[in-house]
Structure 1
Amino acid sequence: MRLWGLLLELMLLLSGCGQRSASTNHQQRHSNGQRYVPTLFFHGWGSSYHAETQMANAVVKAGGTHTIIRAMVARNGAVTLQGHFKAGDYRPIVEVNFAANRSSDYPTVGRWAKNVVVALQQVYGIKAFNMVGHSMGNMAITYYLLANAQNKRLPQLKRQVDIAGHFNGILGMDDEPNRMKLNAAGRPNKLQPAYRQLMGLRQVYPRNQVRVLNIYGDKGDGTHSDGAVSNASSQSLRYLVASRAKSYREVKITGKQAQHSKLHENQQVDRLLIDFLWPNA
């Protein structure tokens, strides 16, 4: 009986050690999670994470990170993370993929962006992150911020890169070449419905928190556009966020590679992203 008692005490002791170890590992994961600052890439209308591959691979080649995972967003907004953050690689890339990639319901797309942020928060315990958008991916970012910029329970946005953003219209739909004018503050002379909604950013965008890089293309054909979006539409972001952003910078890309869908394949854009988001690479 005494031997059985000793064996039972040993089993309980080992069991207790195992429970403490599991708890410690859980706390350790979340403690390290606070060090991770992932960069989320959002693709454009009708596209997929493949449009983000060129930029992501350029970052890896430059040594900015060695980690690329994917956030697959189902049509109902549910998020599945593919891959894992690597230990010690604290600036990973998250390629976001929308299954419903032809949705123009911007508030819904913004909610899907939030679902990705929340998934990363729940799995890794992140406290901060960056966002990169191309074309309609910028609407996912801005509508996410419109609804969540003041939510302190969520991880906080640190850096935002907007590429070929159509904040106040798209050529051939609700804009025409050289029609839109911006005043000295960057406000368009005519506001499209989506832009009117985004005007709320002037009240809720985080003060002195986010550094913004706004990249747009000019093909040099006289349209002052990238072929799909006028420069004025892209530059209209300034009026929405510049007065509250920690910093705001615009960069115009010119030439044939400044065409709308070629901007995410442009080496000059790659270098701008790397210098802005991975300055030590």
Structure 2
Amino acid sequence: MLTEHQNDRAIQKSRIEPVIFVPGSSATIQRFNSLFTTLNEEDSGSKNHSVLKVQVNADGSLSYSGHLSSANRQPFIVIGFEKNQDNYPTIQADGQSMETVMSDLQSKYHFRSFSAVGHSNGGLIWTDYLENYYSSNNFHIRTLMTLGTPYNFSESSDTKKTTMLSDFIDGSDNLPTDLSVYSIAGSDDYTDDGNVNVQSVLSGKYIFQKKVAKYTQTTVSGDNAQHSKLPENPEVVNLIRELILDNKAGRRGLSTNQLKKEAPATDKDKN
């Protein structure tokens, strides 16, 4: 076992910056397989992203599968939960479990920085973790991208804030101030994505705006814009590549400048 000093030295030497994915309620650690296949088909050869999967079991133990290659600067990690019911207490419990998982991952792989993607309630788990547990760990999150995340659960009006949204707003001062957040909503009819109301997704502005370095929201439509298919949506794939991954080959669709036009800049965006 590494001593604390040895672990600090290993972290300083590590060059990997994993992208860590959390699926939504009722989804398994296989949730992003199609997305990973698409990204790795485009990033063939040495630029392929290895995939490590971690399941948090009901008893709190961790089960690892797949592998993480230090040859990839941005390997993919999926964190899934056996307890993944669609309710606020479960999201809080999973957010707390993230502290254990993230500490275990860093002790094994010694990364200093990472980016995060959360689909649906996975984005809520990331938010809970960042507000309540992130500051106790010795690493840095660069970017958070959420896909169809219902920050106000099933409420369609942002004047009716759920307990969860109110808690997130109250805890938003604990968010890392240098974080870039991209909130992506899907839409079949400009109202919802077949499951989550667009206004619930856009309620994220009350949590992140003026609290983090950059908060940008946009809506994707067309093929695979339904809630369950958002991770495979071509525009979402392009946005992950554009905003999180370093490889510029094969980029298509929205550019960063185009995305920024979708939402007004925050005060911090203007600095």
Match of 1:130 among 115, 130, 141: 115
- Once the two structures are superposed, the pairs formed by residues 70-85 of structure 1 within 5 Å of their partners are 70-85=53-68
| Cα displacement (A) at 1:240 | 0.5
Change (3 A) 1:196 1:85: same
Structure label with greater radius of gyration: 1
Change (3 A) 1:106 1:33: farther
Match of 2:224 among 244, 257, 260: 257
Change (3 A) 1:33 1:110: farther
- Once the two structures are superposed, the pairs formed by residues 100-119 of structure 1 within 5 Å of their partners are 100-102=83-85, 104=87, 105-119=90-104
Indicate the percent of aligned positions where both proteins have the same amino acid.
22
Match of 2:193 among 216, 219, 226: 226
- Once the two structures are superposed, the pairs formed by residues 59-70 of structure 1 within 5 Å of their partners are 59-63=39-43, 65-70=48-53
| Cα displacement (A) at 1:81 | 2.7
| Cα displacement (A) at 1:27 | 7.1
Q: Does 1:54 align with 2:54?
A: no
Greater Cα offset, 230-239 or 51-60: 51-60
Look up the SS of the partner of 2:99 in the other structure: helix
Look up the SS of the partner of 1:150 in the other structure: helix
Contact 2:187-2:220 within 8 A present in 1 as well: yes
| Cα displacement (A) at 1:162 | 0.3
| Cα displacement (A) at 1:66 | 2.6
Query: Counterparts of 1:100 and 1:80 in 2: how far apart (Å)?
Result: 14
Match of 1:160 among 144, 150, 153: 144
Query: Counterparts of 2:153 and 2:241 in 1: how far apart (Å)?
Result: 28
| Cα displacement (A) at 1:33 | 5.8
Contact 1:65-1:91 within 8 A present in 2 as well: no
Look up the SS of the partner of 2:105 in the other structure: helix
Unaligned runs of at least 5 residues, structure 2: 249-271
Q: What is the TM-score normalised by the length of structure 2?
A: 0.81
Look up the SS of the partner of 2:185 in the other structure: strand
Contact 1:219-1:258 within 8 A present in 2 as well: yes
| Cα displacement (A) at 1:263 | 0.8
| Cα displacement (A) at 1:201 | 3.4
| Cα displacement (A) at 1:44 | 1.1
Q: Deviations over 1:207-249 (max 9, x none)?
A: 1x111111101111x6x11121111110111121121222221
Change (3 A) 1:148 1:253: same
Look up the SS of the partner of 2:184 in the other structure: strand
Match of 2:159 among 172, 186, 189: 189
Query: Counterparts of 1:58 and 1:126 in 2: how far apart (Å)?
Result: 25
Q: What is the TM-score normalised by the length of structure 1?
A: 0.78
Contact 2:7-2:107 within 8 A present in 1 as well: no
